[in-house]
Structure 1
Amino acid sequence: MKALSIRQPWAWLIVNGHKDIENRQWRTHYRGKILVHAAKKMTREEHAVAAAMAAEQGVTIPAYDDLERGGIVGEVEIVDCVDVDPSPWFIGQWGFVLKDAKPQPLMPCNGKLGFFHVGKEAA
């Protein structure tokens, strides 16, 4: 199954259904379910920026040390790829429009750039 590595707390926001678009500098023609991989790296500054943006949407994210990293944390469906979107989360050149997010317990695994394949045990 395809997976996409996303830094925390953005991965948490996605799998918990708060963030409906993933910003990228590249477009995709892929449509369908993907696994969300929470990257190992996250700075305190990234956490603070995301927390402020989430607060504007009425969402409180977990504390820095409470966010799981370094593995699959859920799944979501990519239903479109757009260059303009009214979502308050859209800030990028391209946005992967997301639906049907579901968190899952952390399954440790290494991430990669772009889409990558993960075994069926993660799905």
Structure 2
Amino acid sequence: MDSIPQFALSVRQPWAWCILHAGKDIENRSWGTRVRGPIALHAAKGLTQAEFADCLETIQTLSEDAPFPAGITMPTLEELQRGGIVGVVEIVDSVQQSSSPWFFGKYGFRLANPRPVEFVPVKGALGFFDWRKNLAKAR
């Protein structure tokens, strides 16, 4: 756990999985940020069937125009890890325009160097948060 950055950002599944495994290089938000550098990627606990289906549809649309890693297979809704830290990713910029096919928002956090980590159950929060302070709440 020492190699995981102090601050985390909560992202709903399966979008967090897409950041780590499917080349999602933008995290869409309604707000910009000055934060740069590595952050912990927290997978929010909530996930509806409609959200899952929306992500699948988006991936199918994008895969016609954008290359994805060979053999990409998204886990089922039940298999996706939720309610904890699932990876680390670097924020390299906050933009209002992007040529990335993943850009849909008013703002996008440009992401780089995603890497999965061993799952750490922890309660999420809005915005950037010190995830270690929430460890006891997850138990």
Normalising by the smaller structure, the TM-score range is: over 0.9
Which is greater in Rg? 2
Instruction: For residue 66 of structure 1, give the secondary structure of its aligned residue in structure 2.
Output: coil
Q: Shift in Å at residue 36 of structure 1?
A: 0.4
Deviates more, 1:74-83 or 1:46-55: 46-55
> Which of 72, 77, 96 is the equivalent residue of 1:83?
96
Give the count of matched residue pairs.
120
Does structure 1 residue 110 correspond to structure 2 residue 123? yes
**In 2, distance between residues paired with 1:16 and 1:77?**
14
Which residue in the other structure is 1:50 paired with?
55
TM-align CA RMSD: 1.4
Name the structure where strand makes up a greater proportion of residues: 1
Amino acid at match of 1:44: Q
C-alpha contact 1:17 1:102 (8 A) present in aligned 2: no
**In 1, distance between residues paired with 2:131 and 2:51?**
26
Q: Shift in Å at residue 52 of structure 1?
A: 1.1
Instruction: Give aligned-pair identity as a percent.
Output: 48
Does structure 1 residue 99 correspond to structure 2 residue 112? yes
Deviation >3 Å, runs of 4+: 57-60
C-alpha contact 2:39 2:90 (8 A) present in aligned 1: yes
**In 1, distance between residues paired with 2:84 and 2:13?**
11
Give the 5 Å matches for 1:1-123.
1-58=6-63, 60-119=73-132
**Higher-RCO chain (CA-CA 8 Å, sequence separation at least 6):** 1
**In 2, distance between residues paired with 1:17 and 1:49?**
15
Cα-to-partner distance string for 1:75-96 (whole Å, 9 max, x where unaligned): 1000000000011110000000
Deviates more, 1:9-18 or 1:75-84: 9-18
Instruction: For residue 63 of structure 1, give the secondary structure of its aligned residue in structure 2.
Output: coil
